[in-house]
Amino acid sequence: MFTIVSWFIFYCAPRTLSNSLETSLTLIALNWFPFEGKAYKGNTWPYIALGVLTIVIRPTVSLIWLVFGLHHIYHSSHPVRLILRTVIPVSLPILIATTVIDSWAYGKLTVPLWNFLQFNVVQGGSALFGVHPWYWYLASGIPAVFTVQIVPISIGLLGPNIFRPSLLPFLATTFYIAVHSLLPHKEQRFLLPIIPLMCIYAGGAFQNLKKWRGSALFAMIAINIGVAIFTSRYHQVGPFSAPRRIMEEWRGHHGKLSVAALMPCYSLPGHAFWHDHLQTLRLLDCSPDLEQLRLPSELGEADKFHANTTKWLKEKFSLEHQAYQRVLMYEKIYESSRQWFDTNGWYQCMEKIWHSLALTSSREDNYMIKHSCNGTIVEHPEYGEVIQLTGDQREKVKDFLIKVGIVNEANCRMHGF
């Protein structure tokens, strides 16, 4: 129950993340884990199979299964027989099959587990996606993810005369957090698989409550519902609200639109979210320089954009901005380079879209700016100077020509694409 009412489970678990899948598979696998030790008489190969599959999908979960696996071997009556007759026969076919599938997909021998370890740990590649101090999980990650659940969990672990079924989940969680704290890149979603493991101990704390049990349970559920509503409906909603708004505007237009999203890395849904409305989605390049093609002091495109937005717009975007019908960016970035947009015809059809109250990056802002139209004068070889507008401005142009008396309405015909 304490896992189900967790706001972070509601917020994160339904998403198509490998963390969601590893959490689900881990919980399913633990149904066959021998918590009773030698007294357990059931099959253990299902948890081993699912555990290995989970590790293939998300290698960091191996930190959890390492603790559980060593506990199983240590308390087994025949540890060598367990390894030779169960662990290896179950694990090896899964590892071989997944390696063959990945190698076939990549067209060369590929071992994802080794690639993951080499890039994130040996090469320190995870640092390319952001660096946090070693204590980030303790100071920020865990309190934010567990919120009020951290109180009954702490009581369940430390309080006297409280029923604790096993300390093994706590030991696995501690090891998991300790190793993750040593890695430079940290995210709240990495904590998803330990939430169910730790919520076990909240049950013991509530079991000892007599008079205030109902009130405490109601308060915990109410707070989690409030946080879930805030994070799902009002927190960082801009990257979803803005594309929906653009698709609503574009509905009924002929042809597909092109959008330039001048925003921080990985902050906007891709083509799958836009479906068939989109022809081109221009994102700032955030590709890590794995082959070290850039100089040590040379910045990537996204960093260049945020370091000096106006300079990047003049040198890079001036050559391509006419190809887009919509431009998305955060408000403070727009304000810092407003003159360029005014000069290049993006001063009309601007709309502010709410993003978030609590910002998680210095590159974000409370509002996003959506530019919907643009215009310029181009030299045509046959017609001379021609006014070129982006987006479907036919109705507006027709109304303008008639209103100022340039043409009569009877003589003005509007053609389709």
pLDDT tens for each residue of 359-382: 888 889 998 888 776 556 667 788
Return the number of other C-beta atoms located less than 10 Å from residue 180's C-beta: 20
* CA 332/CA 16 separation, integer angstroms: 31
Residue 374 is predicted with a pLDDT of 58
* CA 321/CA 319 separation, integer angstroms: 6
User: Could you tell me the pTM of the whole model?
Assistant: 0.80
Return the number of other C-beta atoms located less than 10 Å from residue 46's C-beta: 15
Q: Is the pLDDT of residue 217 over 90?
A: no
Mean pLDDT of the residues in the chain: 86
Residue 395 is predicted with a pLDDT of 75
Mean pLDDT of all residues in 57-81 = 93
* CA 91/CA 105 separation, integer angstroms: 21
Residue 375 is predicted with a pLDDT of 58
CA distances from 220 to 3, 159, 217, 374 (A): 12, 19, 5, 51
And the tokens for 11? 């917020």
Mean pLDDT of all residues in 300-328 = 89
Label residue 17 by pLDDT band (50, 70, 90).
Answer: confident
Residue 131 is predicted with a pLDDT of 85
Label residue 384 by pLDDT band (50, 70, 90).
Answer: confident
* CA 390/CA 174 separation, integer angstroms: 56
And the tokens for 392? 């479907």
Question: Biggest alpha carbon distance in the chain?
Answer: 96
Specify the range with the lowest mean pLDDT, choosing from 19-33, 105-119, 332-346, 402-416.
402-416
> Vertex 74, ends 73 and 76: CA angle to 5°?
60
